[in-house]
Structure 1
Amino acid sequence: MTTASHPAEHHHMMGLTLRNTAMGVGIVFLLVGILGFIPGITTNYGAMTFAGHESGAMLLGVFQVSILHNIVHLLFGVAGLAMARNARMARLFLLGGGAVYIVLWIYGLVINQETGANFVPFNTADNWLHLILGVAMIGLGAWLGRDAMDESPTARRNM
């Protein structure tokens, strides 16, 4: 029989794909957080502040970053790796993380970028990236999670 004829095996494969996707997203966030601390990859590195719109550092010369912004990326990465251990948590990471990024996108649109409200900080490129990340993470969590099941040790043994 083919893989598709075994529902439990299909759920296992979808769960594995979901977990690997969350892990991949987590790794990307970790890399972005690390790259934000590397002079040259982050232009105007000497102008980086802990937080706030005054930070002049630009990841890849495009995305405004600060120490806080880089730490947030690192924490998101660690969360992605930790939550990729089972399908249910991987889905929660993708859906919840995507929702957080949609909220950040909205926040970035409504604040004045030249005030203290822009404490992370964000620029227009960050706002567009937050929208894309939010939609992509929610889409992946919903699409890959629709058929996935939690891969408990018991479920894996029974396959």
Structure 2
Amino acid sequence: MTTERDEPAVNADERTMLEGWLDYHRRTLAWKCDGLTDEQLRTASVPPSKLSLMGLVRHMAEVERIWFRRVLADEDAGPLYFSEADPDGEFHLTGADTWQDAYGAWQTEIGLARRNAAGLALDNLSRGRRHGGDRFSLRWIYTHMIEEYARHNGHADLLRECVDGSTGD
């Protein structure tokens, strides 16, 4: 897999800019995982942390699902990897967990996120609620998702360097 990662246009309208930066950060996470084996993608950072590249991808599948399906569209979309008994389940990997499955779930959630956001104005409020009943504008959700990916892409930089020495922005 070769990941293309062009930065968004510097003079785009707000919607195009937000979607462009979100997609840029999605591609950045995919790029950080590119070319690694399942075993490398499951490699945890520094004990006792369970943080791994595959765990980050699974986490972002959950985050996409929560914000674009549960909150924005008020869909009944239960968790993929975590539970009340294991609230960090997306990071608890076994030898049976594969990149193909994690990547597939993540891409499915990205596709559903795009579907749910299509046609909505940035000021549209979510149909679902979170954090004590708050409703969120699509603009807020896009901004939050960019922040979420940017933070975790910083983790991905360090994880990738630990796995094979690769560095990059």
TM-score normalised over the length of structure 1: 0.34
Structure with greater proportional helix content = 1
If you compute each CA radius of gyration, which structure gives the higher value, 1 or 2? 1
